[in-house]
């Protein structure tokens, strides 16, 4: 039971990381496309400015600046959403580790060793959980 609980945590975490990476790629590609369009309009505006020196320049500059603002907006929103999802994932991991510790303790209390074994398992689980939190990469 404990092995299947740990395996489900690891599998869910890997699937969630792949989903976050996929959504990040989509957001950054959309931002890059908008940035390229903005640069294209700015180049077009520069060309029009040097070629004609008429009113089309203002329209091209406005479109170029608008696309660049949209690109920055997409990237900023994606970063905010990514941070929020990372915080939620960290909280879920904390809850799952607590559930694993509770399951390990409950499994040991009913065994032959009784309360002493359950207490030792709880202390060991708490120690391992403390080591995990101390040595993990993403510190909140």
Residue 113, CB half-sphere, CA atoms under 13 Å: how many? 11
What are 121's two structure tokens? Answer: 């398992």
pLDDT for the residue numbered 129: 75
Identify the CA nearest to 125 among candidates 103, 108, 101, 106.
101
pLDDT > 70 fraction of the chain, expressed in percent and rounded: 68
Model confidence, pTM: 0.44
Range with the lowest mean pLDDT among 20-29, 38-47, 71-80, 96-105? Answer: 96-105
């Amino acid at each position: 039971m404990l092995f299947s609980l740990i395996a489900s945590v690891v599998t869910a975490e890997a699937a969630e990381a792949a989903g976050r990476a996929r959504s990040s790629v989509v957001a950054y590609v959309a931002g890059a496309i908008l940035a390229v369009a903005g640069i294209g309009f700015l180049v077009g505006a520069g060309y029009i400015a040097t070629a004609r020196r008429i009113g089309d320049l203002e329209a091209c500059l406005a479109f170029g600046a608008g696309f660049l603002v949209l690109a920055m907006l997409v990237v900023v929103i994606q970063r905010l959403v990514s941070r929020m999802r990372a915080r939620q994932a960290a909280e879920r991991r904390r809850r799952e580790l607590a559930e694993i510790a509770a399951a390990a303790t409950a499994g040991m209390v009913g065994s032959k060793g009784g309360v002493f074994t359950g207490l030792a398992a709880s202390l060991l689980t708490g120690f391992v959980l403390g080591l995990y939190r101390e040595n993990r990469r993403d510190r909140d």
